Amino acid sequence: MGMPIVIRFTFYTTTLPACVLGILLGLPEQSHGQSNREVQDLLTNVAAEHERFVQYTVHCTVEGNLENLTRFRPGWKTNNQSKTEVYCEYSRIDQHYVTVVKDVNEPSPKWRLQGVSGDLGLNGSSGGKLQVRTDEGFLKYLARDPDKTKLLLFDPLSVGLVFCDFLDGISAETQLSYSMGLSPKISSTLTDVDGLITWKSAGDTTIVFDKKKSFWPVLLEYTRGGKPSVTWDIGLGRFEEHDVPVRALLKCNLNDEKQAESITKIEFKWESINVPIEAGVPSVKRLAEKFGMTYE
């Protein structure tokens, strides 16, 4: 099942190219199971539905591992007991990508904001000043690997499409692009039972998509040595006229068996979808007031 036969697959925190993955998962590079056209049509539908999310704001309550958050606060690393609030604003139209996080476990929790809005770099924390920066060094610091989400933490739209790369910020667009390129080279099968499409690959990866709910994935399983190594369990709901994930549970156990399983549970509260987000100076005032910061 091709999808997380993910060209982007975190193995011991190493990103592996497709050719290595094919060997690793035992995939015959030129073997063809299900019609390539059917698989490509599925991925095209998934991509088209995700492309509808041009602008959005969402508040996520996270219990568990988000890995390293030191870019927001020195020494901040999470684990399965961590509790984190994450607020995201995203607009492809106005190049507005803002992430705000709060460590609920802190004695005096405060919001910490980083992002870009138009040509402005933003950085600040509640109780302090929201800094507006245009210097090249800071904007370069905020810039991301093109394979990763511009939201600086994780891509809410990539749930169920990626493996544990989710914690490293791989974007849904990147994953879908890689999967489309890889799917013709692997053996896989598709089944459709009452609108639930199951894509299963020869490499022990399975993803279930809900055709009746905008082709969102609802389950991903990758097994290694007969044991679950990665699982996604996703609950869908409605926000206005949109199908959206409202909860997601990610379990990762890719490393040494002596290491504890990484668990990340996310509750999504969508606040807006495809509503204009005014970027630049107007967003400075709005964000500062929303998160208790001063501004000039």
pLDDT in tens, 247-284: 999 999 877 666 778 999 999 999 999 999 999 999 99
In a domain, 228, yes or no: no
Continuous H helices in 143-265: 172-182
pLDDT tens, 29-45?
333 445 678 888 999 99
114, 71 Cβ separation under 8 angstroms: yes
Judged against a pLDDT cut of 60, whether residue 287 lies above it is answered with: yes
In a domain, 134, yes or no: yes
Quote the pLDDT of residue 26: 33
In whole numbers, what is the pLDDT of the chain averaged over residues? Answer: 86
Say how many domains are in the chain.
1
In a domain, 246, yes or no: no
In a domain, 103, yes or no: yes
Burial 118-150 (b: 16+ CB within 10 A, else e): eebbbbbbbeeebbbeeeeebeeebeeeebbbb
In a domain, 85, yes or no: yes
Look up the domain containing 128 and give its range: 55-153+275-290
In a domain, 280, yes or no: yes
In a domain, 258, yes or no: no
pLDDT tens, 65-87?
998 899 999 999 999 999 999 99
- Among candidate residues 151, 170, 145, the one with its CA nearest the CA of residue 250: 170
CB within 8 Å of 194: residues ≥ 6 apart: none
In a domain, 202, yes or no: no
